[in-house]
Amino acid sequence: MHPNPHPRRAAADADALHALTRRGFLKVGLGFSAALACTALVPSLAGCSSAETAPQAGLSFLRPDDVALFRALLPAIVTELAEAPPPRQALLAHDALRNIDATCAAMGAGAQAELRKLFGLLATMPLRWALTGIRPEWSAATPAQVQAFLARWRASRLATLNAGAVVLVKLASVGYYALPAAWAGCGYPGPNAAVYQALHA
């Protein structure tokens, strides 16, 4: 089963995500740095180099490849998003991506560097295919393929893959369940009005 946390846990999940910046992201970085270094040699050996890709227009951290990754992850992780009509699904995914981008942009430089390693790995076809079983671009991946790869990573004996799966699921689920527009679809009535007003006064 793929993770589908209740929105009441969104704040706790966000705290857990920040806790991973020192523990989980470090495991991800140590496990994948060598692989990424190897793939980085390919353009150099071919006599060409590419400039660092800028963030997607309107975003602060996520690059176009990262956006494609999370567009594939979101409906695989969030059941009600996958079942929403296409126009509503597109709107919710757009807003969730902005939340994910804001979360990534608010992290420290060390955590951002580890995220870059993980996202870079998943954007590189040979490594993505070898480690996730998904050969096509993320835009062509099905929810079933994405769920299968996340399940394999979570069940893996390798701590790097476990940590990578947790980071991806937390980012996607917290980004979605922080949206007030997502609450009604899963039966959450929203926060207590008086408490919400006091916290945001």
| Residue 44, token pair as written in the block | 């150099």
Contact between 169 and 26 under an 8 Å Cβ cutoff? The reply is no
> pLDDT grade, residue 9 (50/70/90)?
very low
What pLDDT, on the 0 to 100 scale, is given for residue 163?
87
24 against 171, higher pLDDT: 171
Q: Which of 163, 173, 90 is nearest to 121 (CA)?
A: 163
**What average pLDDT score do residues 169-191 get?**
78
| Helix pair 109-123, 159-177: axis angle to 10 deg | 100
**What average pLDDT score do residues 59-67 get?**
96
pTM of this prediction? 0.74
How many residues are listed for the chain in this entry? Answer: 201
